[in-house]
Structure 1
Amino acid sequence: MAANAEHDPRCIDEQALLDGFLKLGTPEGYRAEFIEGEVVVSPPPGGDHEGILSVITWQVARRSSGRMDFSGNKGLELVCGDKCTKNHLVPDGVFAPHDLGLFWGAPVWMPSDGVAMVVEVISAKPEMDRWIKRHCYAKAAIPLYLLADRMEKTVCLFSGPDREAEDYREDIRLSFGKTTDIPEPFGFTLETSEFQ
């Protein structure tokens, strides 16, 4: 909790909810997240969702200018300014430079420091990925957010996080089938022709 929020009843209520969330038993295959004071439970992803994530992961592994480590469904504890509680998000994919060794010995809910890019593939809750998670990632200063929107058949790459504006300064949007450059530390062109 923020020091100035120590006695704020709203912050105490949010901390109690967060404490309960951290003890939550989620059914196997499901994932639970604590986003902006709400507990969000999502079902296991379908095949098309995982197919897109697989294509992205394969391209990052083989085309990036430097070696990247990957974790699917890694819990991130996001520090978001002076909020009472921290957001606990589980991106579909998390990439970090290999030389940082972020995933080795990391706790279940890992800080986002050093994460180079998070990836979400929209499935059941589109507004969560399009808006709420995007603002959470920007507030946590994660450099790149790649969003594959299966409903609109678009890919969005958000960059230049601005904590004060709680958003990214830049975004590139393209239709499935087009290409986009993923900047350093990745430094390659993402092909989306296999996305469906």
Structure 2
Amino acid sequence: MEQLNQHLSQTLKQLRNERQWSLTQAAELTGVSKAMLGQIERGESSPTVATLWKIATGFNVAFSVFLGGAAGSPPPGVQRYADLPVFSQDTADMRVVPLFPFDNLLGFDMFVIDLAPGAVSESSAHEPGVIEHVIVIEGELELMVDGVWHQLAAGEALRFQADRPHSYRNTSQHNVRLHDLIHYPPAVR
């Protein structure tokens, strides 16, 4: 986790420097407090998945940029799940692994996401035009889009415009595992 915090710190600093944004500007554009952004930059805090999404959206970058991916088009090859970076919240309610980090040419990331029993993750709206494809692999997921909760069992999927708030929750007593493929429009790339 310490290595991931260091990467988050360096990435956030780099993005702010590239844009020449103050912490105050970054806070205004991401919706994340100046204090929290400062703690992340100093490696003193591990943000939640929802907070990291807000930061990625505010900076107009793919989520996997913060997980060590998104360096361009990855070379073809086998992805070994055990070798991939993991982002896990302190509460261990949600675990995110970039199965295929952001591909600039194709404009997508693909994640494996695990939600523990009782976990809820609220996602703020992504950039206009962002589309998510959620495929449940194990368990039963509740996914809210446009104020409507959808029940998805293993083998079921939902595609939706992710440029609006949406939420994921696991109300069961078992883990939920899903794939989340996120397509970004050319403006976000």
Structure 2 length-normalised TM? 0.33
Structure 1 length-normalised TM? 0.33
